[in-house]
Amino acid sequence: MPLYTIETTYHLPVYRQCTYEAASADEACELAIEDDDWSCELPDHETAGQTFVTGIWRGRDSAYQGEPVAASGRFGQTVQRKAELFDRLVRLLREPAQPMGLSRHDFDSWLLRALAAIAAADGIFRDANIVQPQKISAIHSS
């Protein structure tokens, strides 16, 4: 049987809890994001990410030296696979849409929703603050 060296990875989040003086919650969030001081960071073992494959090579102990091997995308990081799917779906939405059997009313309704989804996606791509209406609440309590 052949031997393979498999490199797997998981992401271990770190967090910090800091207090910021600001005129609004949004402004406090901006300050927290811009804050480069992570001296009070703590690892969050309870929310470690999934294990995923980051490299495969033929042979024993051959990471980065042996012949690289391709594997099914299902072993990749789920969040990355979702991002790639998101990108493909946005490209699909950008294609010129034709009514193709839909009533004009149904097509117009779809088009408005599609354009809104594209605008939100563009915001994500630009790292902008186009957010669906939802509230972010405290997840951890100390």
> How confident is the model at residue 87, as a pLDDT?
84
Same domain assignment for residues 112 and 43: no
Domain extent for 68:
1-76
Decide if 142 is inside a domain. Answer: no
Residues 31 and 86 in one domain: no
Residue 112 belongs to a domain: yes
Q: Which residues pair with 4 in a beta bridge?
A: 58
pTM check: above 0.75: no
Residue segments in the chain with a per-residue pLDDT below the cut of 50: 128-142
Q: How does pLDDT run across 27-55, given as a tens digit for each residue?
A: 999 999 999 999 999 999 999 998 999 99
* 63 is a domain residue: yes
Q: Flag whether 137 is in a domain.
A: no
Does 121 map to a domain? Answer: yes
Q: Of the candidates 48, 35, 43, which has an alpha carbon nearest to the alpha carbon of residue 8?
A: 48
| DSSP letters for 14-36 | EE-------SSHHHHHHHHHH--
Residue 48 near residue 10, CB atoms below 8 Å = yes
**Percent of the chain scored above 70 by pLDDT?**
83
Tokens representing 15? 């967090």
Domain count, the chain: 2
The verdict on 67 and 87 lying in the same domain is no
Q: The tokens of 54 are what?
A: 């980051």
Strand runs (DSSP E) across the chain, as ranges?
4-9, 14-15, 42-43, 52-58
* Residues 11, 53 within the same domain: yes
